[in-house]
Amino acid sequence: MYLKEITLQNFRNYKEERVCFHPKVNIITGKNAQGKTNLLESLYIMSLGKSFRTNRDTEMIGFGEEYCKVSSSSFKDGKNLDIEIVISKEGKQLKIDGLKTSKNIDLLENVYMVIFSPEDLKIVKDEPEKRRKFVDRELCQLKPVYYRNLSRYKKILQQRNSLLKQQDVREDILSVWNEELAEYGSKIILERKGFIEKLNLISKEISKGITNGKEELALFYESSIPCRETLAQQKEIFMTKLNSSLKNDLFRRNTSFGPHKDDIKICVKDIDIRHYGSQGQQRTAALSLKLAEIRLIQEETGEDPILLLDDVLSELDAERQNFLIHSLAEVQLFITTTEISDELRSNLPEGQTFSVEKGAVTNCNNL
């Protein structure tokens, strides 16, 4: 699939803009703070219904405006796919091929997108939350049911934690939340475990490719509860742990374990590179994870995801840049950069360059 065009109204610093894209490579150039990332953000919300840089939808409404509207037209499976998103203070309205839908979840499985930004280069050494977000975002795209389970888990966790903060905790209510937390938490653990096993195999191969066989990545799911094979077994051990840590949870007024505390360990030759890896190893690992994410979407869905590279190429050395570009022959690419080097230009296949200035996009030359 590929994105044919996007129309923006009051979206961040764009008043009214319509941009038609190339099916292969689209390079968006411009000085700082002109609207390059804003344009990528408007594309990204077509896949998950939300931004990659904020949880508050209303932040995307242009200053002083009442609403913003983003409409896209894509080409998928031999036909057009039209998506429209309107965000106002009252909420969000979505339309897919002209039909109204109320939830982000209905957008999933329509447009697959992967974003790679300098923030992602820190995925290896940042806090566990970053790595959980990476896994969750990916699983939500691949499995809408995961999106539903995760939302439910977060709500129950919030309710359980509020209950733990009360003076007299009602044990009958707590046991209802425990039951639900174990149910949804176990589903999440099993999905994450399976996902990381698959990602591990793919990223191993990719990291070997980047380093000419010198280094091989290994990923491990570090769950705060031991992993089991079936949902029933997983739920049983979750419940046991909830009961045994009740005193601790009551004392801390918080749920001390569960998928919200989990992490992914990333190793090269048995060394945890979060703590002991060089910056180069951490970058190779981040690049391998991103490329593995794309390959996994291709394998699981048969679709080529769209890749958004937000100002990340300049952060990679020439060797890693080349590896990235040459691994991506089939996918539609959007690259933002303040400057496009001659070397990069000569390495890219066919495409189109655009220039952004103060929220206005101009078509420049073909690559």
Residues of the binding site for ATP: 30-37
Residue 5 CA to residue 42 CA, distance in Å, equals 11
Residue 314 CA to residue 54 CA, distance in Å, equals 24
Instruction: Rule CB under 6 A: say whether 259 interacts with ligand ATP.
Output: no
Count Cβ neighbours within 10 Å for each residue of 124-137 and write b for 16 or more, e otherwise: bbeeeebbbebbbb
Which residues from 47-106 bind ligand ATP, rule CB under 6 A? 59, 61-63
Instruction: Rule CB under 6 A: say whether 29 interacts with ligand ATP.
Output: no
Quote helix, strand, coil % in the chain, to nearest 5. 45, 25, 30
Instruction: List beta partners, residue 132.
Output: none
Is residue 335 a contact partner of residue 26, using CB atoms and an 8 Å limit?
yes
With respect to ligand ATP, which residue has the nearer C-beta, 13 or 284?
Answer: 13
DSSP string, 285-329: HHHHHHHHHHHHHHHHHS-PPEEEEES-GGGS-HHHHHHHHHTTT
Which region among 36-44, 235-243, 260-268, 273-281 touches ligand ATP (by CB under 6 A)?
36-44
Is residue 109 a contact partner of residue 47, using CB atoms and an 8 Å limit?
no
Quickly tell me which residue has 């934690």 as its tokens: 161
Instruction: Rule CB under 6 A: say whether 203 interacts with ligand ATP.
Output: no
Nearest approach, Cβ of 9 to ligand ATP (angstroms)?
12
Nearest approach, Cβ of 16 to ligand ATP (angstroms)?
13
With respect to ligand ATP, which residue has the nearer C-beta, 36 or 295?
Answer: 36
Among 38, 104, 149, 353, binds ligand ATP (CB under 6 A): 38
CA geometry: angle 117, 121, 122, nearest 5 deg = 120
Instruction: Rule CB under 6 A: say whether 258 interacts with ligand ATP.
Output: no
Instruction: Rule CB under 6 A: say whether 12 interacts with ligand ATP.
Output: yes
Which residues from 265-324 bind ligand ATP, rule CB under 6 A? 311
Instruction: Rule CB under 6 A: say whether 212 interacts with ligand ATP.
Output: no
Nearest approach, Cβ of 170 to ligand ATP (angstroms)?
43
* DSSP assigned state of 211: T
The length of the chain is 367
Instruction: Rule CB under 6 A: say whether 338 interacts with ligand ATP.
Output: yes
Instruction: Rule CB under 6 A: say whether 35 interacts with ligand ATP.
Output: yes
What sign has the CA pseudo-torsion 301, 306, 307, 308?
Answer: negative
Instruction: Rule CB under 6 A: say whether 32 interacts with ligand ATP.
Output: yes
Instruction: Rule CB under 6 A: say whether 13 interacts with ligand ATP.
Output: yes
With respect to ligand ATP, which residue has the nearer C-beta, 38 or 104?
Answer: 38
HSE (CB half, 13 Å, CA atoms) of 30?
23
Residue 137, classed as helix, strand or coil, is: helix
**The token pair that represents 323 in the structure block:** 């590896």
Instruction: Rule CB under 6 A: say whether 37 interacts with ligand ATP.
Output: yes
Among 5, 15, 33, 279, binds ligand ATP (CB under 6 A): 33
With respect to ligand ATP, which residue has the nearer C-beta, 282 or 336?
Answer: 336
Nearest approach, Cβ of 39 to ligand ATP (angstroms)?
7
Which residues are part of a known binding site?
A: 30-37
With respect to ligand ATP, which residue has the nearer C-beta, 30 or 277?
Answer: 30
Nearest approach, Cβ of 228 to ligand ATP (angstroms)?
44
With respect to ligand ATP, which residue has the nearer C-beta, 38 or 288?
Answer: 38
With respect to ligand ATP, which residue has the nearer C-beta, 219 or 307?
Answer: 307
Alpha helices in the chain (DSSP H): 36-48, 118-121, 128-142, 144-164, 171-210, 231-244, 246-252, 273-276, 279-301, 318-326, 342-347
Among 17, 30, 116, 206, binds ligand ATP (CB under 6 A): 30
Which residues contribute to the site for ligand ATP (CB under 6 A)? 12-13, 30, 32-38, 59, 61-63, 311, 336, 338
